[in-house]
Amino acid sequence: MLEVVGQNPAESEFIVVAGLGRSAQWYRNLQFHEAIEVAVAREHFAPVHRELPIPEAAAVLAAYEWRYRRLAPLIRRALSWLVGWRYDGSAPARQRLASELPLIGLRPARSSPEET
């Protein structure tokens, strides 16, 4: 189970954070092959993935914090625990966080012309 921290509706993309960093087993598995299936609420699809560049990842994190601003102290505490340093929500801290906890975009694989 992963936390969806953002969406890119134009690409039908869900963005998740590797909360345990690059050592997370699911993240390591993605380095070798695509996931078989992603399920978000009632949506199920065979995905392709991408790792967001740090500036884009930091922007997604900022938007996530803004959407859940009333929970910001709890979110920052949880993120601090995950990375092992005090995350204060500042822009430099967010850049550092995005470099340590990769954000992954998962979107439906496009079918090839032979499949349609």
Q: Which has the closest alpha carbon to 13: 64, 49, 37, 42?
A: 49
Lowest mean pLDDT, pick from 44-48, 94-98, 107-111: 107-111
Q: Which has the closest alpha carbon to 38: 20, 60, 14, 18?
A: 14
Reported as half-sphere exposure (CB side, CA atoms, 13 A), residue 92 has a value of 1
Q: Where are the domains of the chain?
A: 4-110
Q: Does 77 have pLDDT greater than 60?
A: yes
The reported pLDDT for the residue numbered 65 is 95
Residue 54: CB atoms within 10 Å: 16
Predicted TM-score of the model (pTM): 0.88
**Domain 4-110 maps to which CATH number in 2.20.25, 3.30.70, 2.30.110, 3.40.91?**
2.30.110
What stretch of H or E contains 50?
A: strand 47-51
Lowest mean pLDDT, pick from 38-42, 46-50, 85-89: 38-42
